[in-house]
Structure 1
Amino acid sequence: MSKPALTAAQAPGAKSRFDDYVVVHIQQTPRNHGSTFFLPWHRYYIWHYENALRTECGYKGYQPYWNWDRYAKDPANSPLFDGSEGSMGGNGAKVAHQGIPIPGAPRPYNMIPPADGGGCVTTGPFKNMTVNLGPLAPTLQITRNPRSDGLGANPRCLRRDVNKNAAAVTTANYTYDLITANKDVYWFQTVMEGQFPQGKWGVHAGGHYTVSGDPAGDFYVSPGDPVFWLHHAMIDRVWWIWQLQDLEKRLTQVSMTRTMNNMPPSANGTLDDLSGLGVLAADVKVRELMSTMGGLGGKFCYIYE
């Protein structure tokens, strides 16, 4: 987080290499969610981040994933969020707020009740972390960014409201059903990302809203909370497990269109469409991102435990 940003010219709020990844996510959210690119793009994204940790920061380990079910009953007091030295930082200080609004969901699923946080994180490794970018889609009352695209300087504390109500949809039964009940990638991804009009949050939103706060609860700026990377490693792991059930078909299976929820209307995505990371990495074909074992010209070479 101390290395200077590559994106400062286009994003004055970006102060570090960590912020570069937030900038790219902000800029590419409308293309890489609710579209063909959601799963392969995020695979590329988290792989590139892990590689940067190793090559630029001297990190010797691997990108951990957050096994949602293990801590779903009481996430705030779990080793992940208990504020200990080995955690990902604690919950936020208790601040009264309305809860987490879920646009498009019917009552009572349109609001996740507030938990015991909502304020600044005051314990653990990230207690003094500064969030620089956003907000764009906040779930708390946050000072607005000076730029409409969220890329201006807006320094503030890291806030969380670790929420077991959201974690309730990330238990093992949901993940098991997601993997076993959906035989094509359209339904696998649709159920994973959430069916909000039916009041189904999905494990993707469920994980984000378990952390909630700012920026974790912001659809665009969520990579600004370091827990994002553990959550999306688990998203990638679940996709990988789903692919393993029928590798011959599922390594070449894509669906949906090239725009989020097909707005504006666009053509169906294909394996030959390009997917990239802006200033971070070159565009590659989607087919290069489909396998963790040999994808990206052999640069992808990993499995999950």
Structure 2
Amino acid sequence: MRYSLASQALCGTITVSALAVPNEPVQKRVQHVDISSFKRFPTEDPQVFLDQSDSTIREFFNIGMFNDGPMDEFGKWLDRPQAILEEVEDKLELQFEKFEDQVEDFFEGISDSKDKEVVQSSKCQTKNQVREISRAKNPFPDFDDIFGIPAKQPPRQPSQEEEPQILPDSSRDANQTEAAAAAAAATCNPSNPNVRFEWSNYSQTDRTAFVQAIKCLQDKPSGGIQFNGSHNRYEDLISVHRGMTVNIHQTAAFLVWHRYFVWVFEQMLRDECGFDRAMPWWDETKHAGAFAASDVFTDQWFGNLPPMTSNGQGTCIETGEFAGTTLHIGPGSANTDHCLSRAVDESQTAQSNTDFTNSCLSMKTYGEFANCFELGPHGYGHNGIGAVMAEVSASVGDPIFFMHHLFVDHTFRIWQNANPSRRTTISGCADKANPCTPITLDTALSSNGIRPDLPVRQVLDTLGGTFCYRYDY
């Protein structure tokens, strides 16, 4: 553990004081906290969404057909066939934008006459109907076999010497106008965006820089009295989330507002704490049912992930960069000092699995996908980490919140990749009023002044609005 000279002197003073007054009891740091009053995130039985999903569509996501990848300057994939999912007669249908010569060769190579008839019929219509394709022996062959694509290389890990990619707007002043932000967006080139790297592909030095930048926000003073209960700059974010909790959960604003919120967090790291690396994200599907074993939760980074105690308490985190953190906002609407605590339940984290995620990805509409993921892997992930992370309004108090929501945003982007119209359309309620306010492309997303408000239209497309990023896969 590192100590400054000042802290060493302070420790020395405490020691002398304790020796000088032997009858004075030495106060120990609290190790556990009662979390019975913490409000947990709502979740739904996974089987409900599994029954709603289409197994063939799930498989298209499972093989990575719509995952993130390199694009040309026009936003076309470079490493996969150009295909989209479209709703036809109330069903999702896989349609290729164009057939390549290699596809013709593949069709000719099909030996089974029934399979040939199915595929030929789809070919003549310039589309593959999902329910017909699912009857073929090989529902969807490997891209490499069809298109002659070279074997995929593992995601690139940024070297320690490499100059990090920084968003074009990373140095924007907090008071910059929305018009200026829109003008900056025109410079985004889909073939050269910023890339968010999965934690396992993120270098050790980048990990250190990331967690220390978060710690930097915790050490800075609050931005103002408008952030109720906040004692530091990081807690300003907790205050914003708490103040907007009602209308940013279980409404159509959930996905777009949290995407915007993660971007606000990133801009604070860059502008206020000098963070100059690519952003990380955490693929929770790799660790479903075993979050505590992930190297995200180590003494070097975010600290350990202990289980709930036998009497139902959370454990105060005393390892990692955020050891000994005292939170001043929450639980709920209270402003009560309490420790950063966790209480993992791996039966809950197990629901952040690939099958549940892909069941959500197979949903047809924005509302269906948002509802599935919010009440599915998102809610189970929060509750699985437990304690502060499971406290709905003040869950931002645990810095792992942002790694979790980077996973949420990654999944949202993958769902959008399956059809370009998903980056330009939205529907549903922006709030819980009765009657509600419909969400539109012009609905403003706010962070209570931490960064400029942005309309939904600038948040939906991460490669065409104010943002300019994709994920490494």
TM-score range, shorter chain: 0.7 to 0.9
In the alignment, does 2:206 pair up with 1:10?
no
Structure 2 gap ranges (5+): 1-217
In the alignment, does 2:420 pair up with 1:230?
no
208, 211, 229: which one pairs with 2:382?
Answer: 208
Counterpart residue number, 1:68: 284
Q: How does 1:237-276 map to 2 (within 5 A)?
A: 237-247=410-420, 249-259=421-431, 262-276=432-446
Shift of 1:268: 2.1
Query: Which SS does the other structure have where 1:119 is aligned?
Result: strand
> Is contact 2:290–2:350 with CA below 8 Å preserved after alignment?
no
Bigger CA radius of gyration: 2
> Is contact 2:237–2:396 with CA below 8 Å preserved after alignment?
yes
Query: Which SS does the other structure have where 2:372 is aligned?
Result: helix
* Separation (CA, whole Å) in 1 of partners of 2:465 and 2:239: 25
* Separation (CA, whole Å) in 1 of partners of 2:400 and 2:229: 21
Counterpart residue number, 1:193: 374
Shift of 1:278: 0.8
In the alignment, does 2:391 pair up with 1:172?
no
Query: Which SS does the other structure have where 2:471 is aligned?
Result: coil
23, 32, 46: which one pairs with 2:262?
Answer: 46
Which structure's residues are more often helix, by fraction?
2
Shift of 1:252: 1.9
* Separation (CA, whole Å) in 1 of partners of 2:345 and 2:469: 31
> Is contact 1:93–1:122 with CA below 8 Å preserved after alignment?
no
Q: How does 1:89-108 map to 2 (within 5 A)?
A: 89-92=303-306, 95-98=309-312
Counterpart residue number, 1:288: 458
Q: Measured at CA, do residues 264 and 57 of structure 1 come closer, stay the same or move farther in structure 2, by a change above 3 Å? A: same
Q: Which amino acid aligns with 1:131?
A: L
Shift of 1:267: 3.1
Q: TM-score, normalised by structure 1?
A: 0.79
Shift of 1:286: 1.0
Structure 1 gap ranges (5+): 99-116, 137-148, 195-201
* Separation (CA, whole Å) in 2 of partners of 1:250 and 1:265: 25
Counterpart residue number, 1:125: 321
* Separation (CA, whole Å) in 2 of partners of 1:255 and 1:160: 36
Q: Which amino acid aligns with 2:468?
A: C
> Is contact 1:293–1:301 with CA below 8 Å preserved after alignment?
yes
Counterpart residue number, 2:302: 88
> Is contact 1:207–1:231 with CA below 8 Å preserved after alignment?
yes
> Is contact 1:97–1:118 with CA below 8 Å preserved after alignment?
no
Q: TM-score, normalised by structure 2?
A: 0.52
Query: Which SS does the other structure have where 2:268 is aligned?
Result: helix
> Is contact 1:6–1:279 with CA below 8 Å preserved after alignment?
no
Shift of 1:287: 0.9
Matched pairs, number: 255
Query: Which SS does the other structure have where 2:315 is aligned?
Result: strand
Query: Which SS does the other structure have where 1:266 is aligned?
Result: coil
* Separation (CA, whole Å) in 2 of partners of 1:79 and 1:51: 25
Query: Identity of aligned pairs, percent?
Result: 31
Shift of 1:12: 5.3
- Which consecutive aligned stretches of 4+ in structure 1 deviate over 6 angstroms post-superposition? none
Aligned Cα RMSD in Å?
Answer: 1.7
Counterpart residue number, 2:150: none
For 1:5-56, what per-residue CA distance to the aligned partner results, in whole angstroms no more than 9, with x for missing partners? 013x234531111011111100111111111211111111101111111111
Q: Measured at CA, do residues 265 and 92 of structure 1 come closer, stay the same or move farther in structure 2, by a change above 3 Å? A: farther
For 1:230-276, what per-residue CA distance to the aligned partner results, in whole angstroms no more than 9, with x for missing partners? 000111110101101101x10122122121xx454313211122221
